[in-house]
Amino acid sequence: MGDLQPLGIVVQGSLSEGLEVRLHGSVSVEELRVGKFLVVQGRRSRFFCLLTDVILGTASPRIMANPPDPSDTFFTEVLSGTGTYGTIHLTPMLMFVPDNPLDLLTETTTKKNKRRKVEEPSSAYSLLPVKTVPQHFSQVFDSSERDFRVVFGWEEDPHRRNFVIGRPIDMDVPVCLDLDRLVERSNGIFGKSGTGKSFLARLLLSGIIRKRAAVNLIFDMHSEYGWEAATEGKQFHTVKGLRQLFPSQVQIFTLDPDSTKRRGVRDAQELSISYDQIDVEDLMLIREELNLSEASLENAIILRNEFGKHWIAQLLQMSNGEIQDFCEQKMGNKSSIMALQRKLTRLDDLKYIRATCPENYIERILRAIAQEQHIVIEFGSQSNLLSYMLATNIITRRIHHAYVRQAERFMQTKNISDRPPQLMITIEEAHRFLAPMTAKQTIFGTIAREMRKYFVTLLVVDQRPSGIDNEVMSQIGTRITALLNDEKDIEAIFTGVSGSGELRSILAKLDSKQQALVLGHAVPMPVVVQTRAYDAQFYREIGDLNWQQMPTQEVLRLAEAARADLGF
């Protein structure tokens, strides 16, 4: 527990209102800041607490009415700790008890400096929700690395897939996410524009790949995850993407091959979508972008029922007379069908849309996922909302259907070889897919509500969590949130979270870069962290072991091939 000098003692408090701690006279309130973690040593339990307020107190009203002269340092020091004192307010977050209760008080006293020294525990701890409070005059200490290891685990734990997401604001102690618990449910990364959401996402995805916790399918709207990405700032600088970090485990598919080649990305595979892969449900998602009316969508269903999966290609070839005849036979609306035909011609502007495709690229992606290959789908210049929402919905819907069939087969056979690999799908601009009016109609709303039932979850990256349906937000298991200023967005983050009053003020005071509030299923308690740097040291710690262990000659050969691809 730090240097093990007690900071103060508990003088009063309650389970609902928290604990009030009176500081010892030698402890300055200026050393204690909101968001710091402290430990209260009870008789039977140790309480892991969050500091939520710092207060100045006086023993007598006369001191406030007649304060000493600031230049009289002697009198000021005489009053300190007796007439004047500091108090802090703590909110207990967890209580933990060792399996052997004697381990809680395994302490030795050194005669030289009379300091108490707590030894490493010899048994495991049980983490429990806070159901009581420590007794009067329980001592308060700085939290130690051992306390953080008990609460958040450590990355080298052989029994859990832990990943260091960052460190507490005022301590050099790692804070870990339990990746097995993370991928069980859908998760979210939130923050206003410019707070580093994409860097947080790359950090988290790298950990999932490194620890083999799940397979990732990433819809890379701005081409930031695959090969490399530019950092913000006055000087231009790039950071490695997932393909560079894990060349043997990550594949890149591109909807815009020309853009991908111009950026020097090698080994990217082209991805096309044909008209017969577009269904009416996909058009419902982009109805605002195409300005489709309800009548046009109803007539689209009539066309689909008549022509099957080739209905769009058939519609685009129909003349006015053929449309008139069709409407007379099938009771369609001519003006609505003509409006639908006119608006669907916008799909021709999308580079990845084809009348027919030489092969089923989505089946190729599914085969790669089955081999536990992580997929990044780049959009290049095709990153407008119409293009992004259409392609993302089409691909995800078909992959989810394939997963449902495979999961049902696994439930029937109970054969582990039939179990599909856990899949996490990353989408940006998530509020476009999960808005209250569309969440129940889109595949993404279905996935968020089903959670782990069919081994598919979401990682949503968004700057407007208030635009996401409340039912979906309540299903978000772990939320990693950078700075947010809008009150509606802050309120949305804490949907379904009890006791969030103190956390709201902490969230609003985060720095604009490299700080985040982590709460939910993958951590035992909410914690504010200074996020791990995404830099050369991180590359060395997280990189592809197969690549690092590759013979030098093979590395040189691949490097030379890369240079040739870039035209050097």
> What would the pLDDT profile of 236-251 be if each residue is shown by its tens digit?
788 899 999 999 999 9
Structure tokens at 297: 């969508």
Would you mind telling me the total number of residues written for the chain in this entry?
Answer: 568
Distance from chain centroid for Cα 302? 41
Write the CA distances from 251 to 11, 148, 243, 373, 546, integer angstroms.
Answer: 59, 37, 7, 7, 15
The residue behind tokens 């003692």 is 9
Mean of all residue pLDDT scores within the chain: 82
Using the predicted structure, report yes or no on whether residue 119 has a pLDDT greater than 60.
Answer: no
CA distance between the termini of the chain: 56
pLDDT at 219: 92
Predicted TM-score (pTM) of the model is: 0.82
Q: Read off the pLDDT of residues 383-438 as tens digits, 9 standing for 90 and up.
A: 788 888 888 988 998 899 999 999 999 989 888 888 999 999 999 888 888 888 77
Tokens of 362: 């989505």
Looking at residues 118-124, what average pLDDT do you find?
43
Q: What are phi and psi of 113, to 5 degrees?
A: -125, 5
Q: Residue 256: phi, psi to the nearest 5?
A: -140, 80
Helix axis angle for 334-344 and 320-330, nearest 10°, is 130
**Phi, psi angle pair for 516, to nearest 5°:** -155, 150
pLDDT digits (tens, 9 = 90+) for 474-487: 889 899 999 888 88
Express each pLDDT in 341-354 by its tens digit: 899 888 888 888 88
Angle 269-384-298 from CA coordinates, rounded to 5° = 100
Q: Any residues with CB less than 8 A from the CB of 462 and at least 6 apart, and which?
A: 188, 189, 190, 197, 428, 429, 430, 431, 468
Given pLDDT bands bounded at 50, 70 and 90, which one contains residue 216? very high
500 pLDDT higher than 70: no
Strand partners, 46: 41, 96
Q: Which two tokens stand for residue 271?
A: 């991805």
Using only C-alpha atoms, the chain has a radius of gyration, in whole angstroms, of 29
